[in-house]
Amino acid sequence: MIFAANFKTNHTRRSTELYIDALNKKLGAKSPEDKVYIFPPATALDSYEGDFTLGAQNAYPAHNGAYTGEIGLEQLDEFDIETILIGHSERREYMAETQEKVAAKFAFFQEQGFEIIYCIGEPLAIREKGFESVMKYLLAQFEGIDISYEKLIVAYEPIWAIGTGRSATVEEISSTHRALKKAINEKPLLYGGSAKPANIKEIISIAGVDGVLVGSASLDADSFSEMILS
């Protein structure tokens, strides 16, 4: 299983160091086949020791240049970062990242050989229209994305389940993952949306779920390690 922690705009460099120290003390007990990723804010990127992969929540698709407020490949290379989240619904919504921009970012980081966790998800209004509308919406988020890329991991994150405390139901996850798995040629597929210690066992036992992308419940090292060791 894959367990990925997305800190979003939480934690500082210092609190990330403390978090990693705390997590490392627990990770010795995880199964060797489980893989852990941590996506801290850009200011906490660094070279850390431990049985996990550090990734970037975002970066501008350029080596360097005049992109005020952004970081590029040069800043990621400093810490040997080769994993990135692309397409998160918060970036699509709050940072106005269009499918075209998301696809350009994907192409750039694919070209650099990055491992990409590519996020897709539908808003509540689409979910309420039914399964067919959900799949149509989700598949449109693969426009311009090379799904044959060997370092692609997809994260299905229904927007209405993100940060709301309300996870999708087992049936919603199961049917959506079944259809998505076919569409992405069986690439690893994570679920994200209010995954937490209380529901992790149920979620990771669903066929077609290869792991979880976790926001809120990953912010505390004990809570996240409880999920990993569940």
Nearer to ligand PEP, 42 or 62 (CB): 42
Round to the nearest angstrom and report the end-to-end CA distance of the chain.
11
Least Cβ distance, residue 194 to ligand PEP (angstroms)? 4
Q: Which stretch binds ligand PEP (CB under 6 A): 18-26, 47-55, 102-110, 212-220?
A: 212-220
Q: Which stretch binds ligand PEP (CB under 6 A): 110-118, 143-151, 156-164, 174-182?
A: 156-164
Binding residues among 4-23 for ligand PEP as defined by CB under 6 A:
6
Q: Is residue 214 at the binding interface for ligand PEP, with CB under 6 A as the rule?
A: yes
Q: Is residue 193 at the binding interface for ligand PEP, with CB under 6 A as the rule?
A: yes
User: How many residues does this entry show for the chain?
Assistant: 230
Q: Which stretch binds ligand PEP (CB under 6 A): 54-62, 97-105, 128-136, 208-216?
A: 208-216
Q: In one letter, which amino acid is 125?
A: A
Our answer to whether residue 11 is catalytic in this structure is: no
Neighbours of 197 (CB within 10 A): 16
Our answer to whether residue 88 is catalytic in this structure is: yes
Q: How far apart are CA 55 and CA 37, in angstroms?
A: 7
Whether the Cβ atoms of residue 117 and residue 85 lie closer than 8 Å to each other: yes
**Residue among 112, 216, 223, 230 that touches ligand PEP (CB under 6 A):** 216
Q: Is residue 173 at the binding interface for ligand PEP, with CB under 6 A as the rule?
A: no
Binding residues for ligand PEP, rule CB under 6 A, total 13
Q: Is residue 215 at the binding interface for ligand PEP, with CB under 6 A as the rule?
A: yes
> For the chain, where are the alpha helices, taking DSSP H only?
13-27, 73-77, 89-94, 99-111, 124-127, 131-140, 170-183, 200-204, 221-228
Q: Is residue 159 at the binding interface for ligand PEP, with CB under 6 A as the rule?
A: no
Buried residues in 92-130 as b, exposed as e (16+ CB within 10 A): beeeebeeebbbebbebbbebebbbbbbbbbeeebbeee
Q: Is residue 83 at the binding interface for ligand PEP, with CB under 6 A as the rule?
A: no
Q: Which residues contribute to the site for ligand PEP (CB under 6 A)? A: 6, 157, 162-163, 192-195, 213-217
